[in-house]
Amino acid sequence: MQAVHNWRGMKTNFLPPRHMLTAILSIVAVAVLIVVFYSSTVTSDVPVLTPTSAIKVIKAAHAYTYSLRQAGKPVPTSIAVTNLVALNYLKPADVAAFDGLEATLTLLVTNNSPNPVLLRVREPDGGETVVRENGATQQIPPGGFEAP
């Protein structure tokens, strides 16, 4: 790994690429949207993804990819949130808002996709909610098609 200089002029072996920072900011923005949406539509006894929990998910994904790179292992394209819990990067309470849902985080984004999906949540009825790099969310009905 080649050493680079960070914004403070110090040598470091890891400097997050620009698209990674964009992805992190987009996920935080989406987490806030999810909190607003669910807090206005669910009762108080249903778990809600809080901004603190969303940050924990982002940190867990970053720690997971970092540990793979340090071990010289390939980083998968995506990972299920439940796998981050199983690997002890998250506690079940951190992602209680995803109970009963399949939530998948994208870890690697190719330059071929103009607006890639960063988070995909599959609902029990087969419908999906996707969050794109620019922060836009898209509802896909069961059996529906995703816009490019």
pLDDT of residue 71: 92
- Alpha-carbon separation of residue 111 from 23, 61, 136 (angstroms): 13, 20, 18
Span 78-112, pLDDT tens digits = 899 999 999 999 999 888 888 888 888 888 877 77
Residue 30 tokens, joined: 């989406």
Asked if residues 112 and 125 have their Cβ atoms less than 8 Å apart, the reply is no
Angle between helix axes 51-70 and 18-41 (nearest 10 degrees) is 150
**29-65 pLDDT tens trace:** 666 666 655 554 554 444 556 667 778 888 888 889 8
Segment 126-137 shows an average pLDDT of 81
Which residue type is seen at 38?
A: Y
CA pair distance 43, 130, nearest whole angstrom: 23
